[in-house]
Structure 1
Amino acid sequence: MELRKLGSTGLKVSVVGIGCNNFGGRCDENLTKEIVYSALDSGINFFDTADVYGHQGLSEEYLGKAVAGKRKDLVIATKFGMQMDKDGRKKGGSRRYIIQAVEDSLKRLHTDYIDLYQQHFPDDETQIEETLCALDDLVHQGKVRYLGCSNFSGWQISDADWTARNRGLNRFITAQNLYSLIDRSIEKEVIPACQQYGLGLLPYFPLASGLLTGKYIRGSEPPKGTRLASWGERAKSALSDNNFDIVEKLTSFAAKKDHSLLDLAMSWLASLPQISSVIAGATSKEQVQQNAAAASWRLTDEDMNEVHIISSP
């Protein structure tokens, strides 16, 4: 498994990371362990979770138990900021909440430090300066190694970077955003901002919620148990004729190269230099192995150009 620098830091992470959003939900504790062990066997050292994943932080708890005894060899990322209670008190980017949130995550993860602590979504009610000052304190206290943002726009990344540099604070070193051959919208502003300020990109939903695995058929209902099956009416936009046109062309391209659609989706992202790690969720050890193997295919410049044309909006 290829290792890459996490943003501009010296920390190395596997080019494929495990998205832990299914832990504590679709994956119980035993299945979580199977997935984690399969990832380790595949050379994956990067695990991305969040306090809100699973019921009441179960994703962090299950991950912490699964990696017991192996912590020093792994890079664990988690996130804060999404609502964790019914009355809306446990959320956001205020200093008070961040101090509480990090302690809760450390406890659930059974660790005394977090490698990458990410703000899950921008908080319109809290100045970014307050958030960054609180996060900077956590770095100096040794509770957090590096900082990242998730679902930030290009201008929000720019604003956060300017604020951190102006105040002499630790900066965000990664940006985690939705990115795949089906949704390339971040290429307009987010990727240029990451390149300008030296942030590594951590794309999530690289398989477009399964659309880039070939499991969905044009004109048919999503198979039971799949992610899109649980979306109801929202699935219609993902299963549009335009998206299926792209999928069919990509499938044909991959077949000519003796690869699957999934291989192409993962390898396209892994072939981009700005990508630190591709965050891929899994609900079985077989999926982990497929994702890990897929990223080993490196597309040529000619391949990249052709895929770029096929998948252009």
Structure 2
Amino acid sequence: MEKRRIGSLEVSVVGLGCNNFGGRIDAQRTAAVVGAALDAGINFFDTADIYGGTRSEELLGRALGRRRSEVIVATKFGVPLDDQRRGGARPAYIQRAVEDSLRRLGTDWIDLYQLHRPDPETPIEDTLGALDALVRAGKVREIGNSNFSADQLRGAEQAVRPGAARFVSVQNEYSLLQREPEREVLAESKRLGIAFLPYFPLASGLLSGKYLPGHPAPEGARLAAPEAPLTARFLTDQNRSTAEALSAFASSRGRSLLELAFSWLAGRPAVASVIAGATSPEQVHANAAAVGFRLTADDLQEIDRLAPPPPR
């Protein structure tokens, strides 16, 4: 599988999002998904301390076992976990959060440690200083952020002390149905040499091709429950209509909607790895094989017509 750079790290262009571990799937199914990812050439695993009620890190570490040194593990901190672990990016909290993540993952180091969301109450200089100390101590190899705006990326870059660790990645929502990063963040990440990691690349499954027009969502699918928080957001009439049009376009090129969604993202500026979750080995293999659709300039123009970019 093709590899791309995130700072000093070399990651597979398709990664595995681990948000299902400890929640939608148990330890046994997690091990099967991780094993399938390794077999498919995926070496990039992205999790967070909050996923699965903190169980995701634990199950990922257990599933990797002795193969930990073969892969790139990314995790995140900063979202409140409970009344004692209230999140944020204060240096004291970072120190506690990283030790907890290292213990749950069963590892001595984290390859990419990411601030899950901006903390307006903590100066970015303080956060960067604490993260730099982790890098110098060998507990973290590279640092990144998530849900940052272009202004916040610039502010963080300006706050880096000479010779200190800097953010090498930004992880924001990006898909054919959510193209907001094209307004500013993608260009800024490219200018700063920061890798872009799209989350929700399949719009929570809507771009997987399993939500057919005129049919109910498949049983057990993430958007199957009408009361689920993501259902109202993603399963709109407009999104379903756009997904149907994109699916027809992909089919006219002999490809699937899944292949279109992955390949389009993989071809975007600054994107280092397309990380999508999976609940079965079959999904992993389908995702890993979905980046072979080479889009022409005419293809891209038609995609822009079907799923327009944001106004600038």
- After TM superposition, the score normalised by the length of structure 1 is 0.94
> Contact 1:64–1:111 (CA<8 Å) still a contact in 2?
yes
Partner of 2:220: 225
Would the alpha carbon gap of residues 217 and 255 (structure 1) be closer, same or farther in structure 2, given more than 3 Å must change?
A: closer
Partner of 1:183: 178
**1:202: Cα distance to partner?**
0.5
Partner of 1:22: 20
Partner of 2:34: 36
1:60 aligns with 2:33: no
Q: Distance in 2 between matches of 1:237 and 1:140?
A: 41
Partner of 1:196: 191
**1:257: Cα distance to partner?**
1.2
1:143 aligns with 2:139: yes
Q: Distance in 2 between matches of 1:238 and 1:100?
A: 35
Q: Distance in 1 between matches of 2:232 and 2:25?
A: 26
Higher mean alpha-carbon deviation, 265-274 vs 68-77, is at 265-274
- After TM superposition, the score normalised by the length of structure 2 is 0.94
**1:230: Cα distance to partner?**
4.0
Q: Distance in 1 between matches of 2:257 and 2:109?
A: 38
**1:215: Cα distance to partner?**
2.1
**1:172: Cα distance to partner?**
0.4
Partner of 1:156: 152
Partner of 1:115: 111
Match of 2:78 among 78, 81, 90: 81
Q: Distance in 2 between matches of 1:289 and 1:110?
A: 26
Partner of 2:250: 254
Q: Deviations over 1:103-154 (max 9, x none)?
A: 1111111110100000001011111111100000000000000000011111
1:308 aligns with 2:298: no
Q: Which runs of 5+ in 1 are unaligned?
A: none
**1:178: Cα distance to partner?**
0.5
In the alignment, residue 126 of structure 2 is paired with which amino acid?
E
> Contact 1:129–1:163 (CA<8 Å) still a contact in 2?
yes
> Contact 1:218–1:241 (CA<8 Å) still a contact in 2?
no
> Contact 2:213–2:244 (CA<8 Å) still a contact in 1?
no
User: Residue 251 of structure 1: SS of its match in structure 2?
Assistant: helix
In the alignment, residue 5 of structure 1 is paired with which amino acid?
R
In the alignment, residue 148 of structure 1 is paired with which amino acid?
G
In the alignment, residue 240 of structure 1 is paired with which amino acid?
T
Report sequence identity in percent.
53
**1:195: Cα distance to partner?**
1.3
Q: Distance in 2 between matches of 1:222 and 1:129?
A: 46
Q: Deviations over 1:244-298 (max 9, x none)?
A: 2211221111111111111110111112241100010001110000000011222
User: Residue 54 of structure 1: SS of its match in structure 2?
Assistant: helix
Q: Distance in 2 between matches of 1:59 and 1:227?
A: 17
Would the alpha carbon gap of residues 195 and 223 (structure 1) be closer, same or farther in structure 2, given more than 3 Å must change?
A: same
Partner of 1:210: 205
Q: Distance in 2 between matches of 1:177 and 1:78?
A: 14
Q: Distance in 1 between matches of 2:8 and 2:301?
A: 31
Q: Distance in 2 between matches of 1:220 and 1:152?
A: 37
User: Residue 209 of structure 1: SS of its match in structure 2?
Assistant: coil
User: Residue 275 of structure 2: SS of its match in structure 1?
Assistant: strand
> Contact 1:270–1:298 (CA<8 Å) still a contact in 2?
no
In the alignment, residue 2 of structure 2 is paired with which amino acid?
E
Would the alpha carbon gap of residues 193 and 65 (structure 1) be closer, same or farther in structure 2, given more than 3 Å must change?
A: same
User: Residue 66 of structure 2: SS of its match in structure 1?
Assistant: coil
In the alignment, residue 44 of structure 1 is paired with which amino acid?
I
Q: Distance in 1 between matches of 2:2 and 2:72?
A: 14
> Contact 1:182–1:311 (CA<8 Å) still a contact in 2?
yes
Q: Distance in 1 between matches of 2:40 and 2:298?
A: 29
Would the alpha carbon gap of residues 273 and 135 (structure 1) be closer, same or farther in structure 2, given more than 3 Å must change?
A: same
Displaced runs of 4 or more, over 6 A: none
Q: Which runs of 5+ in 2 are unaligned?
A: none
Aligned residue-pair number: 308
In the alignment, residue 281 of structure 2 is paired with which amino acid?
K
The Cα RMSD (Å) is: 1.6
**1:306: Cα distance to partner?**
2.0
